[in-house]
Amino acid sequence: MKDLIKYIAQALVDHPDQVAVSEVEGNQTSVLELKVAKEDLGKVIGKQGRTARAMRTILSAASAKVKKRTVLEIIE
Amino acid sequence: MPCLEFEGKSVEKAIKKASEELRIPIEKLKYDVISYGSTGIFGLVGSKKARICVTLREPIPKPEAIIKEEVSAGENKEIQIISESEQKQNASEGPIELGRNVLQRIIDSITSDATVSIQENSERILFNISGGNSAILIGKRGQTLEAMQYLVEKIINKNYEQRIRILVDIEGYLETKEAGLERIAVRLSEKAKRTGKPVTIGQLNAQDRRIVHLALKDDSGVRTQSIGDGFYRKLVIFPQKSYQRKKEKNT
């Protein structure tokens, strides 16, 4: 899960080396924290949050496979 | 002070190249980093080169000779860049391979045993997914499918200058959806004509709205228009007044 988000985010930004994803695991829900370079913040959020929404949608589809919930947070 | 630019896969390589071309030992080279390179995806696509700017110190032996060398080095550099970018295009096999790799990776994390086949025409590249758990891949109201398409398109277009349009389909889902939308469009236009009041359809994305607009384009009894912004953008079907009057006259 973590790798997937990292992979997508790295493909979207200008500074892939500054992409960091950390996972806070819970019983049912885990939280993914995505950190990118300041200039790239807009790239992972997108117009009207569309990119962020797309990533969250894919994340929830992927976590349905392992019967869990995953929340994506983009850290400023 | 004269400043010379050098490129390389990494800053170190750029420095090495500079020292070789200028015949100055690395330790004595004075430079500023213009940009650090990035390897891009798979180290093939979208890689950016590291660039450094070498400042030449004044006491250089035979400055003219070096400047001459600079010029010739600059020319060589340009030729090299062209051939390298050509190589890059060939090696990565263009946007199709990139799209396939990205899409396959996303699909694999959602479901297993799904494969991607590709059709290409002049307007867009069509990725067709088959196998696996298609229900999860499509998602509620096709939202997962849409998200995948959006992200893949975005990633492809980030790496290529030219705008490339793509379409992601799962076992004919798009066609079914289009037919469904057209049916809804016709039904709602009938309603608008019957009641004489505008009918709105919300919650459609741009492509879906386009399908509805096109479906009702040739219907002279109604006029369609999109109203509102962003997430709240709606499509409104207006009954045409002239049509209404004609109808009243007839009855």
Residue B157 lies in a domain: yes
Nearest to A11 among B147, B155, B231 (CB): B155
Our CA-based measurement puts residue B117 at a distance from the nearest CA of chain A, in whole angstroms, of 20
Q: Residue B116: CA atoms inside 13 Å, Cβ hemisphere, count?
A: 25
Q: Is the pLDDT of residue B144 over 80?
A: yes
- pLDDT for position B250: 63
The answer to whether B207 faces chain A, any CB pair under 8 Å, is no
Answer yes or no: is B76 within a domain: no
Q: Are residues B204 and B150 in the same domain?
A: no
Residues B179 and B145 in one domain: no
Q: Do B139 and B190 share a domain, yes or no?
A: no
Q: Looking at the domain assignment, is residue B63 inside a domain?
A: no
Residue A50 is nearest to which of B111, B137, B150, comparing CB atoms?
Answer: B150
The answer to whether A44 and A36 have CB atoms below 8 angstroms apart is yes
- Note whether B181 and B159 are same-domain residues: no
Domain of B5, in residue numbers: 1-58
Question: Does B69 fall in a domain?
Answer: no
Note the pLDDT of residue B62: 47
Which candidate in A14, A55, A60, A67 is best for mutational testing of the B interface (most B CBs within 10 A)? Answer: A60
Give the tokens for residue B21.
Answer: 């071309």
CA-based nearest residue in chain A for residue B36: A15
State pLDDT tens for residues B186-195.
999 999 999 9
Domain endpoint, select from B114, B142, B171: B171
- Final residue belonging to a domain, choices B154, B171, B188: B171
Q: Give domain status of residue B123, yes or no.
A: yes
In this structure, is residue B71 part of a structural domain? no
Whether residue B143 is predicted with pLDDT greater than 70 in this model: the reply is yes
Q: What's the CA gap between B56 and B29, in Å, rounded?
A: 8
Query: What six digits make up the tokens of B187?
Result: 């039904």
Give contacts of B150 with chain A, Cβ < 8 Å: 50-51, 54
Domain boundary among the residues B112, B141, B171 is at: B171
> Both tokens of residue B167?
């379409």
Is the residue at B73 inside a domain?
no
Does the beta carbon of A1 lie under 8 angstroms from any beta carbon of chain B? yes
DSSP output for B100-111: HHHHHHHHHHH-
Contacts of B102 in chain A (CB under 8 A): 8, 11
pLDDT band for position B90 (cuts 50, 70, 90): very low
Domains in chain B, number: 3
| pLDDT at residue B77 greater than cutoff 70 | no
ipTM: 0.93
Q: Is B126 inside any structural domain?
A: yes
Spans of chain A below 70 pLDDT:
none
Question: At residue B66, does pLDDT exceed 50?
Answer: no
Q: Could you tell me the CA-to-CA distances from B146 to B124, B178, B207 in Å, in that order? A: 16, 14, 10
Is residue B61 predicted with pLDDT exceeding 50?
Answer: no
Same domain, B49 and B89: no
Q: Which chain B residues have a beta carbon less than 8 Å from that of A1?
A: 109
B44 part of contact set with chain A, CB < 8 Å: no
Closest residue to A51, CB basis, from B105, B111, B154: B154
CATH number at residue B205: 3.30.1370.50
